[in-house]
Amino acid sequence: MKKIFIQAIIFCILLLVQAGTLAQKTIRLINNWDYLRQDVGSIYEVIRPAEKGAPETLPLWQQVSLPHCVNATDAVDPDINYYQGAAWYRTQLDIQNPYANGRTLLHFEGAGQKTKVYVYDQLVAEHVGGYDEWTVDITDAVMAFKKTAVFQKQFNNKIPIAIRTDNSRDVEMIPSNLSDFNLYGGIYRYLNLVYTPAVSVEKLFALATVDKEGKNAKLHVTAKLYNPATLNDAVIKVNLIDPSGKIIQHAEKKLNDLQGTIDICNFEIKSPQLWSVEKPTLYKVALTITTTEGTFTQTENTGFRNFEFLKQGPFMLNGKRLLLQGTHRHEDHAGVGAAMTEEMMRSEMLQMKDMGVNFIRLGHYQQSRIILNLCDSLGILVWEEIPWCRGGLGGDGYKAQAKRMLTNVIGQHYNHPAIIVWGLGNENDWPGDFPEFDKEKIRAFMTTLNQLAHQLDSSRKTAIRRCDFCKDIVDVYSPSIWAGWYRGIYTDYKDVSKTEFDKVDRFLHVEWGGDSHAGRHSENPDNALLNIKGGQSADERAGDASLIGGAARVSKDGDWSESYICNLMDWHLKEQETMPWLTGTAQWAFKDFSTPIRPDNPVPYMNQKGVVTRDGKPKEAFYVFQSYWSAKPMAHIYGHTWPVRWGNESEAKMIKVYSNCDEAELFVNGKSVGVKKRNSQDFPAAGLRWQVVLNKGMNHVKVMAKKEKIIVEDAIDFQYQTEKWDKPAKLVFEKLSEANGIVVLQVKLFDNKNIQCLDAANWVRFGLVGDGKLIDNMGTPDGSRYVQMYNGRAIIKVQTAGGKNVVSVQSTGLPTAFINCNE
C-alpha cells in the first residue's frame, strides 16, 4: 500500500515536470519577500532608503515566502471580519537574462483580486481578476532602472520589485462578495521569473480529436507568439511524442510573418493510445521556434479522448458509458488559506483519486495549472468555470472582466485533455448586489458568454448550475437538488433527479450532500427527518442555508453528525447505481473550506460539507464514497472518531462496515458475529451491518473483508456508556499527548454526577496565558478557539515554545476550567 502510494507520487512528479514548460528558464520566486498588510501613502514609501530604527522604516514589514495569502488565518477568526484591502510585497531581484536582446517576464499564476506591479517607482502593469494567469514584461523597466544612480548605490545592482494586491469589496467585480467562499488577497499562487529570447511562444494550442472507436485521431497545432521586437523570420519545428518518449510525427515550417495566431500543422494518428480515467495516457507536443535572436522550445501535454453527453442520456467516454463520480474543490487549506504549495495540491488530488473520484468541478473559478496537470495525469475529468457567482449583473467593466476571464481560462487551459466543460456561472439567479435584477439582461449576457466559449473552443461543452431561467442557453445544466439537507428528505433523491433530468437535454447534477461536524456522531441520526416534508428536494430557496427561520430542514434542525451525512451519502450512491440515464454527479465538496457568510456554523466561518476536514483528515463519509467508487479492496468500520457510544444495557447496537469487498466477517470482543454479503441496494452500508450487544465499558471490534483472494482488515476500540446524564454542569480538561513542542488537550462536559454528556453541543472558547500560543484559526474542529463540542468534547492544540502555559476553557453558564500544560 505504502509502496503503491509512493510510486503514484513519483509518477505525478514526473508528469508535472514534463507538462507545460513555460520557457527556457523559469525561476520560482519563493523566498526573500517583505510583506505589509495595509496600504501605503505612495510607492516611494516602499522603496525609500532608511536606516534601521529610523521613522522612514515605518510601517513595519514582515518576511514571508510565496505563495502567500493575506487571509491565511483571519478568514476563520471567530471574532473579526476577514481583512479586505490592500497589501504589499517587495523584493530585490538579481536579473541576469542569458539571452541577448531577450525578454524578462514576471509570470503570475494567480493573485487576488486586483494587482499592480512596480519596478522601483515605475508602474509596469495592472491586472483585475484573482484567478487567471498573467504575465508582465519588465525588460524595458529593468534596463531603464539599471541606468539610475540608486541601482548601484542603494540596491547593490539588484532590481527592486513591489507588488500591490487588493481584495477590497468591489461590487463591479466578479465574484460577488455574497459568494459562499472568501475572496482572498495576496500572491497566493506561484510567481515566476522567466527569461526568454526575443521571440517566444505566448500560447500553444493543441487540438486533439479522435473518433468514438479510437481508430483515427487528429492533432491541429496553432500558436500565438510573443514578439515585441516585431521580428519577421523564423523556423518552427513541431514534434509529437508518444507516451514512451518516441517521436511519431514531425513538422517544420518557415515563417515570414510572426503576428497573430499562426496555423502550424496537422497530424493524423492511427489507433492512438487513448486517454481515459482508468489509463490517462498523455502525448507531448514540443514546438521549437528559431530566429536570429535564439531558440525557444515549448512543450505541452495532450491526450486523445472522445466524449459525449447524450441527449436525454448518460455520458460517454471513448464510446462507452461512464458514470461521472465527482466532487468539488476550492483552493483553501488550514493555516495557509489559498496559498497551497504544490505538495499540498498533489496530496489533495491523490486523496481524491484514492476515494475513487473520476470527475471534478472546480468551484467557482479558474484554478492552478498544477491542479489541471494533476487531473490530466491522474485521470480526473474536469468542469472548470469563471467566477460569475451570485449578486446579479454589473456594468461594462464587470462584463468585460467576465469575458476576459472566460477567454483566459480557455486559452490557458485549452490543452488539458481532462477538461470537458467550461462553466459560465453559478447561482446567477441570486440577486443582492444591485438595485436592479433583470432576468432578461442576465439571459442576454449568458448568451454572449456561451457564444464566446464556443467561438474559443468548439470541442467542449458549456454549463451552468442553478439558474433555471438560463438553462436553455448552455449545453449542460445542473439544477439545485439538496435532497435531505436544504430541502426534503434524502429518499426523494432519485425521483426528484429524474423530474429535473426530463426538463433539459443534458443533465449533470453538481452540488449535493450536507454539512457534518467532524467528530460528532449520533445513535439516532435520522430523527430530524421526522418533521420534514418530502418531495421538495429541488425547491431550494433563498435563506435555506441560514440556521435561522424558514421551514423545517435538516440543515437547520438536524444534528450535523457524521452519522447522518453517511446515511444521506450512502443512499445517494446506492441510488446512482440504479439510474442508467444519469450522466453523473459531483458531491459538494471534497474538503471543508472557509466562507465569510457562515459565522454561526459549529466551526465559525467554515462550510463543513467536506468529506475531509480543512487540513485533509478523512471524515467517515470519505469511506462511504470509497466503498462505492474505489476498485482497490477496502474495509472501514464506522466510528474511528467516536470514542464513546451510549445506550441501555443489553440493547442491540448497529455496527456498520463500509467496504467494496464481496463479503465481510465482524468480530466483537474476539467473537465472530457472522459473515455478511455485500449488496449495494441493501441500505445502509450495502448490507454490511450487524446488530450487536456491546459490553459496558471497553469494546474491541474488528472486520475481515474478502474480495476474491484479497483480505483487508480494520479495527476500532471504543467505550460503551449506559449511565444516563443530566444537564451539563462542569468542564474537565485532560492532556492527551505531548510531542515536538505540541500539547494536545481535550475538554469534556459532565453533569453534576460526573457522567459525561455525550450528546452535548455546547459552544466552548479556549484561551491561553503563557509563553506559547493556541494553534487556532485553522478552520478545523481541533484547531479553533471557539467551537461547538462534538459529543460532549472538544480538542485544542498548544505550541508550548518550551515555556509555561495555562489554558482556559469557557462555556456559557458553566464554571471556567483551567489546565497547566507543564503538569
The yes-or-no answer on residue 575 being catalytic is no
Nearest to 734 by CA among 725, 723, 742, 743: 743
Q: How is the beta sheet containing 671-677 ordered, strand by strand? A: 644-646, 710-721, 697-707, 663-668, 671-677
Q: Are 380 and 401 in contact (CB under 8 A)?
A: no
Q: What one-character-per-residue DSSP string does 552-566 give?
A: --HHHHS---HHHHH
Q: What are phi and psi of 196, to 5 degrees?
A: -130, 160
SS3 label, residue 478: strand
The total number of residues written for the chain in this structure: 823
How far is 626 from 634, CA to CA, in rounded Å?
8
* Grid cell at residue 725: 446524564
Q: Are 368 and 131 in contact (CB under 8 A)?
A: no
How far is 317 from 417, CA to CA, in rounded Å?
12
Phi-psi bin for 802: left (phi > 0), alpha (psi -120 to 50), beta? left
How far is 310 from 581, CA to CA, in rounded Å?
9
How far is 242 from 328, CA to CA, in rounded Å?
31
Q: Are 420 and 381 in contact (CB under 8 A)?
A: yes
Catalytic, out of 109, 133, 385, 427: 427
How far is 765 from 396, CA to CA, in rounded Å?
47
Q: Are 330 and 181 in contact (CB under 8 A)?
A: yes
Pairing of strands 689-693, 320-321: unpaired
Q: Which residues are CB-contacts of 474 (< 8 A; sequence separation ≥ 6)?
A: 424, 446, 450, 461, 462, 463, 464
Q: Which residues are CB-contacts of 15 (< 8 A; sequence separation ≥ 6)?
A: 282, 301, 373, 376, 377
What amino acid occupies position 458?
Answer: S
Alpha-carbon 2 to chain mean position: 25
How far is 14 from 10, CA to CA, in rounded Å?
6
3-state per-residue secondary structure call for 64-91 = ECCCCCCCCCHHHCCCCCCCCCEEEEEE
Q: Are 218 and 209 in contact (CB under 8 A)?
A: yes
Residues taking part in catalysis: 427
